[in-house]
């Protein structure tokens, strides 16, 4: 991506935006943040445009446009690409707008470094390449199904809490999503066709919380623990996850313990273990089987 400084306070960014592997992912890997946006906002690669303004030396405001691109295939029923059974054109990409406030303060009385980010993102009418099914599970053509979503994320990271060797990270995400119609899918598990509701067409809300605590044994060794809690109707867009399981978006709760070892020359070793408890049905296409 490219950063262009229009003035000392105003910057314009375009191209592949740093939207992947943001905080608190960096805390578990003992590295600087790979993304400028909180992980619970959208952990994915997006192309787009961003306008940043430095309000004060500590506070910056950013406005971001990242179109959500979903490529429709050719319908076996209608024989037409990017059209539903009813003949409507599919709007792809879908406009996705977001705004972010980023506050950073060094050497406060309660932390060596404090970073607080509030991020709001909204996308409307995201169309999906889905087939309508009858009661027998047979395709009747492309659906008019689309998806609206809004997320608000508060991310707090404190390094050197109260002059100690503890680092603390907290992210809270609230999500609202709804679809224009109910939709049914067939999973075909075990060689049979089982029909499930992906969505009932009603607006739903949910929350995800992630708490990360890390302690520096010395300059080369750190240990830490994470806890995540996800409500029934919430999900995370963790599309470029490097974890062995869906930890940040698991429909329930989970723990992650980790150990970081830094070696001379910039080499890092990360060892960890995950434990998750899935309390609700797994997400399907960002929605939930009911």
pLDDT per residue as tens digits for the range 167-207? 999 999 999 887 766 555 555 444 444 444 455 567 888 89
- Structure confidence at residue 42 (pLDDT): 81
Question: 243 or 81: which carries more pLDDT confidence?
Answer: 243
Distance separating alpha carbons of residues 181 and 177, to the nearest angstrom: 12
E strands of 18-110, at which residues? 46-54, 59-65, 96-106
Please name which of 9, 111, 25 lies closest in space to residue 61, comparing C-alpha atoms. Answer: 9
- Structure confidence at residue 216 (pLDDT): 95
Distance separating alpha carbons of residues 168 and 157, to the nearest angstrom: 6
pTM reported for the whole predicted model: 0.79
- Structure confidence at residue 73 (pLDDT): 45
Distance separating alpha carbons of residues 128 and 131, to the nearest angstrom: 9
Most confident of 10-14, 20-24, 88-92: 10-14
Distance separating alpha carbons of residues 14 and 48, to the nearest angstrom: 6
Distance separating alpha carbons of residues 132 and 165, to the nearest angstrom: 56
What is the DSSP secondary-structure string of 193-253?
Answer: --EEEEE-S--EEEEEEEEEEEEESSSSEEEEEEEEEE-TT----BTT--SSS--TT-SEE
Which residues, including other chains, have CB under 8 Å from residue 21's CB and lie 6 or more apart?
A: 33, 34, 35, 39, 43, 240, 242
Q: What is the mean pLDDT of the chain?
A: 79
Residues above pLDDT 90, as percent of the chain: 36
Most confident of 37-51, 53-67, 196-210, 276-290: 53-67
DSSP single-letter state for residue 43:
B
- Structure confidence at residue 222 (pLDDT): 96
Here the tokens at position 126 are 């995201």
pLDDT per residue as tens digits for the range 100-156? 999 999 998 889 999 999 999 988 766 555 555 555 556 655 566 667 888 999 999
Please name which of 259, 263, 269, 226 lies closest in space to residue 245, comparing C-alpha atoms. Answer: 226
- Structure confidence at residue 232 (pLDDT): 83
- The answer to whether 65 and 235 have CB atoms below 8 angstroms apart is no
């Amino acid at each position: 991506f490219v950063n262009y400084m229009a003035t000392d306070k105003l910057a314009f960014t375009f191209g592949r935006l740093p939207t992947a592997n943001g905080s608190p992912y960096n805390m578990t890997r003992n590295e600087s943040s790979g993304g400028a946006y909180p992980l619970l906002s959208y952990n994915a690669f997006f192309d787009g445009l961003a306008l940043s303004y430095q309000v004060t030396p500590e506070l910056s405001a950013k406005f971001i446009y990242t179109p959500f691109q979903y490529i429709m295939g050719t319908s076996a029923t209608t024989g037409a690409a990017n059209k539903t059974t009813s003949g409507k054109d599919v709007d792809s990409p879908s406009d996705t707008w977001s705004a972010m406030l980023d506050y950073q303060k060094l050497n406060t009385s309660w932390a060596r470094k404090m970073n607080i980010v509030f991020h709001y993102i909204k996308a409307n009418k995201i169309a999906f390449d889905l087939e309508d099914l009858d009661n027998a599970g047979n395709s009747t053509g492309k659906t008019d199904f689309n998806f609206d979503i809004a997320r608000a994320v508060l991310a707090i990271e404190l390094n050197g809490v109260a002059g100690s060797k503890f680092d603390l990270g907290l992210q809270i995400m609230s999500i609202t999503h709804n679809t224009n119609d109910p939709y049914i899918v067939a999973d075909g598990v075990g060689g049979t066709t089982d029909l499930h509701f992906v969505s009932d067409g009603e607006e739903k809300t949910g929350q995800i919380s992630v708490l990360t605590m890390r302690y520096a044994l010395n300059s080369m060794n750190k240990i830490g623990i994470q806890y995540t809690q996800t409500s029934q109707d919430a999900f995370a867009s963790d599309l470029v996850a490097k974890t062995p399981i869906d930890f940040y978006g698991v429909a329930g709760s989970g723990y992650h313990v980790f150990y970081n070892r830094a070696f001379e020359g910039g080499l890092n070793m990360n060892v960890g273990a995950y434990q998750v408890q899935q309390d609700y049905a797994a997400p399907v296409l960002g929605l939930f089987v009911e």
